[in-house]
Amino acid sequence: MAYRENDTGTTQTKPLPKDTKKKDVNKEDLHAQLEEDLALKQHLELRVERIYDVDPEVQKVALESMRQEVRTSISSMTYVPKLLKFLRPHYRTLKAFYETMLDSGLKKYLADILSVLALTMSVEVKRESLKYRLLGSEGDICSWGHEYVRILAGEISQEYLMRQSEDAPVDDLMELVEQIVAFHMKHNAESEAVDLLMEVDDLDPLTEHVDITNFRKTCLYLTSAARYLPDPDDILFMDTAYSIYLVFYEFASALQIALFLDNLEHVCEVFTSCDDLLMKKQFCYILARQGINFELDDDMVEDDEDRELSQAIINNVKLSEGYLTLARDIEAMEPKCPEDVYKLEKIWLLHLSMLLLMQVLARLMTDLADSSSDGSSGNWLFKNKEHAKISVVASLGMILLWDVNSGLAQIDKYLHSDDNYVIAGALLGVGLVNCSVTNDYDPALALLSEYINKEDSSIQIGAIMGLGIAYAGAQDEQILNSLIAILKHENVPHDVIAFTAISLGLVFVGSSNGEVAQAITDALTGRSVSELGQPLSRLLVLALGLIYLGKQEGMEATSEVSKSFSKKMRNYVDITLLSCAHAGTGNVLTVQKLLGHCSHLENAETSQGSAVLGIAMVAMAEEVGLEMSIRSLKHFLQYGEQKIRRAVPLALGLLCISNPKVNVMDTLSRLSHDTDLEVAMAAVISLGLIGAGTNNARIAGMLRNLSSFYYNVPGLLFCVRIAQGLVHMGKGLLTLNPYHSNRLLCSPTALAGLVTMLHACLDMKSIILGKYHFVLYYLVLAMKPRMLMTLDKNLEPISVPVRVGEAVDVVGHPGQPKTITGFQTHSTPVLLAAGERAELATEKYVPLSPILEGYVILVENTEYMEDN
């Protein structure tokens, strides 16, 4: 320890000689360093003088030695080397001398030196490092060090843009690009290599330089960057990642890219390129989660029995069985009995979930079949009024969701009722039971087709809505013909037309089917002005948008037709089409257009709500856009008009679906007490949406308080009940989030169901609180288990330890960074919340999917050794 003068002013003298000795040593070191610097400076000045020498041999020796010294000094540059500092005063004179030299090898050597000196001396716009590099000697530029290569890459991108604008050749630049990309890929700088290739509009060299050590990080950067690129660059990036994954046999990752691109040819190529049957079954689980209609053929799976089993996985035939296995393992199977429900009601603890309440209804209704012949036990059902019976009976479909055989058996008895509303509810229940499940015998189609042409509009709506939910995304031609016939039929009630259009939109979601679009457009143009002014007309327009959901293009012909409408209706059609076509793309220009439409415009009142929802639909794709949209929506609450303020809570609910962010939760809690009752109702519904399936205690507490606060306001109390049901949805085992696979993929049917329900909520009093409250059942399209279930090679559940923690963005990070933080170790099956990621906590097994979500097949690791 070095001693100093103490507080009393006395000095401890013993250590002073040591301190003095240290100072003397430092002075000696500094003096020696100064002498070294002086010697280096004089040495370099001598070299510079000899460069000016008239003797070519002296010049050659001086240039070669200086070139070598410069290269050595900057090869591992972490600061500006002294050599460059001492040569800076000579930069301009060396440049002038270069211009006087004759073309020779010596002139190229001097160009090499000037290229490096320009790193610290050149004006940025002149790009002199690149200029002298191109004039210098040929060879490997990477030996000059990473910093030199990095700066050179920046100048290349600027030079490339300038030459492109002048139509000048770029061959010499592309030669340098090849060398720089090879250098970056070898030195763990994959992101810099991709950035450079993106600047020069040529990703082809990338595939030549990826190898087994860097292809995963390269593809991760490509897929992440694609979200921030305009069309068609984003598609190009994804296609490149797809090709690289195929080359290195990462078939599951390639399949996810193919689904992102919505390219069924790529999906078929993945199946045919893979020879592992177990891996193909994993593909089927990924396809099932995405919810697309896909048929396997002999080329994809050769054996008939294996193909039948794989097709059953895609069809979600055993989804109900897997969900119940999850519930049993997490001990969430115990039902609530009616006495518990009524007891809780009496003490005002009104926070029972929709699912629990439906279980009570199911118990009451399923007991009807075994009741006495006098039918007294059936009186309970008929205490409900008219349209309420539709929801009550349809609730059976929710309770028996995905369980087709048991569900149809339970619902069948209500199809023989004398009450048309009960029949309508049963038909809707049939659709709910078959949601997301494809059956070879098409029982839903067989049952519902008999009722879609009945005279009673309630029965028609029940059957048509059931078809739309059961066959969402199926693109079934038989349904197309049946529903188009209804649209073209005269004297069909307006509400039947609206639900028919929505069902067509759901069945052909994202298909860009011209025939369907034309049929819906004709239905719109055939409506009278008074009919177009009705609340359900918004569903007709939305149905048109669903046809082009996420397609970005192809809607031009349809939007042209809208010019025949009144300005008010034209605005609504155009905004809805725009928001649907760019849903999930994160397109900034589209968000700007929608934000502009929310300003004070004439004839824009009806379409402003759709524009606000459109902002959320477009921006929900990635986190940065999502956060920026939340901020913009909060500004609307302060400055927006009434129609906009009513839509803002719904947009917030969509942006944070099943993801209770604290800031959004607080905003919605404040809005739930708004003086405008429609704003309050939308806020309450959105509280349910952001907490859907999470059992979030804070939201549950808010809703309990709201149920007491609004106990004498029936409309708001109804919204509170719905929100409570959503928060405890499926006893906390389900999610409404349409995004999966680490937020890479968005299920089109799930998003379509959410958007349909939210557009209906734009007119809460007329639709949700009116006689069409069963529109809420469209949410079932987005309901999926939020689980990780691991399976063995026989597709039987197997329990293994996994770490579950908050996901960490590792894009562009060097080395092997941790992908989760704050993790806990559990045994599968486990629940995954929004923003969470799982990884295996054992090396005994190897997952066949790179992302641990949903069903994941594990195979034993042949290299695993048990610790003694």
Window from 268-272, 289-293, 562-566 with minimum mean pLDDT: 562-566
What pLDDT does residue 40 have? 65
Give percent of the chain above pLDDT 90.
35
Q: What is the pLDDT of residue 529?
A: 76
pLDDT score recorded for residue 459: 92
Angle at 548 between CA 544 and CA 550, to 5 degrees: 135
Statement: residue 363 has pLDDT above 50: no
pLDDT of residue 41: 65
Residues contacting residue 334 through CB under 8 Å, at least 6 positions apart: none
Question: Where is mean pLDDT largest: 15-19, 424-428, 454-458?
Answer: 424-428
Q: pLDDT band at 176, cuts 50/70/90?
A: confident
In the block, tokens 């009616």 appear at 338
Containing H/E element for 20?
Answer: helix 16-51
* 762-773 mean pLDDT: 89
Residue type, 244: I
Task: State the residue for tokens 């929310």.
Answer: 598
pLDDT tens digits, residue range 418-431?
889 999 999 999 99
178-204: average pLDDT: 88
pLDDT at 338: 38
**The predicted structure's pLDDT at residue 609:** 87
* Contact predicate 638/674, CB 8 Å: no
Q: Is the pLDDT of residue 622 over 50?
A: yes
Q: What is the pLDDT of residue 572?
A: 85
In this structure, of 154-163, 284-293, 310-319, 693-702, the range with the lowest mean pLDDT score is: 154-163
Residue 42, pLDDT score: 66
**What backbone phi and psi angles, to 5 degrees, belong to 821?**
-140, 155
Cα within 13 Å of Cα(771), Cβ side: 10
pTM: 0.86
Tell me the per-residue pLDDT of 819-828, one tens digit each, with 9 for 90 and over. 888 889 999 8
- Among 79-83, 193-197, 369-373, 600-604, top mean pLDDT goes to 193-197
Range with the poorest average pLDDT among 30-44, 498-512, 597-611, 850-864? 30-44
> How far is Cα 714 from Cα 716, in angstroms, rounded to an integer?
6
Other beta carbons within 10 Å of 820: 16
- Higher-confidence position of 616 and 565: 616
Higher pLDDT, 253 or 52: 253
**Quick one: what percent of the chain has pLDDT higher than 70?**
83
pLDDT for the residue 80: 53
Q: How confident is the model over 265-285, as a mean pLDDT?
A: 93
- Cβ(253)–Cβ(219) below 8 Å: yes
**Is 859 in a helix, a strand, or coil?**
strand
- pLDDT score at 45: 66
Query: In the predicted model, is pLDDT for residue 44 greater than 70?
Result: no
pLDDT at residue number 168: 84
Residue 25: pLDDT band (50, 70, 90) is low
Residue with tokens 């594990």: 858
Cβ neighbours for 659, distance < 8 A, ≥ 6 positions apart: 690, 737, 834, 835
Whole-number pLDDT of residue 260 = 93
* pLDDT in the model for residue 657: 94
pLDDT value at 335 more than 70:
no
DSSP annotation of 657 reads T
Is residue 12 pLDDT above 70, yes or no? Answer: no
**Do 838 and 797 touch, CB atoms closer than 8 A?**
no
| Predicted confidence (pLDDT) at residue 361 exceeds the cutoff of 60 | no
Q: Per mean pLDDT, which range of 94-103, 156-165, 178-187, 483-492 is the poorest?
A: 94-103
Contacts of 617 (CB under 8 A, 6+ apart): 579, 580, 582, 583, 584, 654, 751, 755
Query: Is 352 a residue whose pLDDT tops 90?
Result: no
Residue 569 has pLDDT above 90, yes or no: no
pLDDT of 632 over the 70 cut: yes
Q: Which residue has the higher pLDDT, 539 or 336?
A: 539
Distance between CA atoms of residues 767 and 26, nearest Å = 84
Residue 337: pLDDT band (50, 70, 90) is very low
Quote the mean pLDDT of the chain: 82
Amino acid at 261: L
